[in-house]
Amino acid sequence: MTNPTTRKYNEVFEITVSETGSRVRLSTSLLEMLGWTTLENGFECLGIFRRDGEMICAPEGLKTQDGVHPFQSVLDIIEAPQASTTFRLREVPRAATITAGARVIKFETSWVSPQKKQLNLKLGVTVMSRLGWSASSPCVVYTAPWGAILLIMSSNRYGEVRNEDFTGGELNL
């Protein structure tokens, strides 16, 4: 995978979700920022829902300089052996840890054409509904690259983050 190009911090892309609600199509400019244009057809991605309406995703084969996937710490949590018997209350993990597997998804991609100008993320209706899609109304999602990691947000979540103080109090919000 090539190194992602330098990105602008204000680069957010509004993307219309397919009518069936099962996929999102990424543009060339976004793919170039992510560094995904050299990947083969049908590569798999991992996605993690950080909260309702907000998911980060990356190619499954992506590796950090240490040779591990950027999401490895989360994968270690959900792949940890399950306790058959718990003897002490403090050994019971938090609910967020026990249910973490429901927040991690794997999905396929496909290039729209051999020229690799657009990429379909085959997320499926269930995942897209978690990102704000419903059969009753058209939907857009907002995406932003962070290195080779893609952030996907529902319209509601994007509205929330646009109003959050990102400066640690410097804006006096």
In a domain, 78, yes or no: no
In a domain, 69, yes or no: yes
In a domain, 57, yes or no: yes
Residue 142 CB partners (closer than 8 Å, separation 6+): 12, 13, 14, 15, 152, 153, 154, 155, 157, 158
In a domain, 92, yes or no: no
In a domain, 173, yes or no: no
Q: pLDDT per position in the chain (173 positions), as tens?
A: 544 545 455 689 988 888 788 889 999 899 999 999 888 877 999 999 999 999 999 999 999 999 999 999 998 888 776 666 667 777 788 888 888 888 999 999 999 888 888 999 999 989 999 998 888 877 899 999 999 999 999 999 999 998 888 888 887 65
- From the list 40, 28, 35, the residue with the least C-alpha distance to 63 is 35
Parent domain of 29: 14-73+120-154
The Cα 21–Cα 4 span in angstroms is 28
In a domain, 140, yes or no: yes
In a domain, 106, yes or no: no
In a domain, 163, yes or no: no
The Cα 132–Cα 148 span in angstroms is 24
Number of domains present in the structure of the chain: 1
Tokens, residue 29: 């400019």
Q: Tell me, what's the pLDDT at 21? A: 81
